[in-house]
Amino acid sequence: MSFDDYAKTWDTDKRINRAKIIADKISNSIEISKDYSAMEFGCGTGLVSFNLYKKFKKITLIDSSKGMIDILNSKISQYKVNNMITNYLDISLENSLDMKFNVIYNSMVLHHIHNTEAIVKKFYELLCKDGYLCIVDLDEEDGSFHKKYPDFDGHNGFNQEKLKSILINVGFKDIESNTFFHDEKIIEDKKINYSLFLMKARK
Ligand X SMILES: C[S@@+](CC[C@H](N)C(=O)[O-])C[C@H]1O[C@@H](n2cnc3c(N)ncnc32)[C@H](O)[C@@H]1O
Nearest to 24 by CA among 57, 58, 47, 1: 47
Contact 95, 122 (CB under 8 A): yes
Question: By CB under 6 A, what part of segment 147-186 binds ligand X?
Answer: none
Report if residue 84 touches ligand X, rule: CB under 6 A: no
CB of 19 to ligand X, least distance (A): 6
Q: Binder to ligand X among 104, 113, 167, 201 (CB under 6 A)?
A: 113
By CB under 6 A, residue 137 contacts ligand X: no
The H or E element containing residue 124 is: helix 116-126
3 state DSSP class of 35: coil
Task: State how far the Cα of 93 lies from the Cα of 47, in Å rounded to an integer.
Answer: 24
Would you count residue 38 as binding ligand X (CB under 6 A)?
Answer: no
Question: Does 110 contact ligand X by CB under 6 A?
Answer: no
Half-sphere exposure of 99 (CA within 13 A, CB side): 14
| 50 part of the interface to ligand X, by CB under 6 A | no
Of 30 and 109, the one with the shorter C-beta distance to ligand X is 109
* Chain centroid offset of residue 150 CA: 22
Among 25, 112, 122, 200, binds ligand X (CB under 6 A): 112
- Site map 114..133 versus ligand X, x via CB under 6 A: --------------------
Pick the stretch among 108-116, 124-132, 165-173, 188-196 that binds ligand X (CB under 6 A): 108-116
Output b/e per residue, 166-194; b: 16+ Cβ within 10 A: ebeebebeebebeebeeeeeeeeeeeeee
| Binding region for ligand X (CB under 6 A) | 3, 15, 19, 42-44, 47-48, 62-65, 68, 90-92, 107-109, 112-113
